Amino acid sequence: MGAAWTGPIWDTHMHLDVNGRGVAAAQDFANAGGTHLCLVHKPAMPADLSEMKLHYEATLKMAEAVRKEVGLDVRVVLGPHPVVWEKQVHTMGFEAAGELHIASCQLALDLIAEGQAVALGEVGRPHYPVSDEIWAAANAQLQDVMHMAAQAGVPIQLHVEDRGAQTNAELAIICERSGLEKMRAVHHYSNANVSAEYTHGLSTSVSMGKNSLVELIDSFERCTSTWTMETDFLDDVSRPGAVLGPKTVPKRTQALANALETEQADDLLHNVHRVWPSTLYGGFDP
């Protein structure tokens, strides 16, 4: 139906690892038509804040390598993963694990303030069943993290469980309690229902799996916040292509352009790949 999309293409959640494909994976994204990406800090298990700083620095170095060697516009997202916190609760105890998590968030916010990164993430809560005590602590901690982000004027990318609209409704309440604007809370690895009744006002980073386009086409006209596209590419040599390969977002973008009338596709993709990611993560370079 529609014509090919010739504008920017932004993957808003991708991991790259110096021990994985790294720059080569970013080159695959670029070769497929990708122009911009959010390079998200890969989960690490630091013993203390100094180790966390080293992990953040490795992510920043990877971003610079991709900029220089591939020519992509790379925006960095830094933060301590909630699964790391949950695991460290069992080895370090609640107090020490919580202190390290919050300190790691503050360090990320400091680096964002310096202009080295653009968002806090991925933060959130465990995506698997945990004890009531850990669940309560995770939610209290997430509210504190959201408040820190709100005070700093920084968006966050959220790693959370998949319980459909109920998860988003709960997150929206935590946003309200923390003072964080819901649009600046991005539900990462979300399914493709971007309707207001599903997202409850949160922004969405849609996992662009094979069936994502059907649900996007069905729901995007009922979206009242923002949504973007992601692969959550893990760059893990033991799991090639997991979660989705780096070429996926450019391919799905062209498939969506082809599925809609040209004018409708141009308007939508202008928002998805320029306006909304720029609003969250900063404007395009000249």
Domains recognised in the chain with CATH numbers: 10-280 (3.20.20.140)
First to last CA, the chain: 32
Q: Using 50 as the pLDDT threshold, list the residues of the chain that sit under it.
A: 286
For residue 228, the SS3 value is strand
DSSP class per residue in 40-89: EPPP---SSHHHHHHHHHHHHHHHHHHHHHH--EEEEEE---HHHHHHHH
Instruction: Encode pLDDT of 78-105 as tens digits.
Output: 999 999 999 999 999 999 999 999 999 9
- Is residue 127 classed as helix, strand or coil in its secondary structure? coil
What is the identity of the amino acid at 241?
G
Give the model's pLDDT for residue 241: 73
What residues contact residue 61 under an 8 Å CB cut-off, 6+ apart?
A: 18
**pLDDT at site 286:** 38
Has this prediction a pTM greater than 0.85? yes
Q: Of 231, 227, 239, which is closest to residue 272 (Cα–Cα)? A: 227
Cα separation, 92 vs 121, whole angstroms: 22
Structure confidence at residue 261 (pLDDT): 95
What are the tokens at 142? Answer: 């997430």
Residue 160 and residue 123: Cα distance in Å, rounded? 8
ω into 74 cis (within 30 of 0):
no
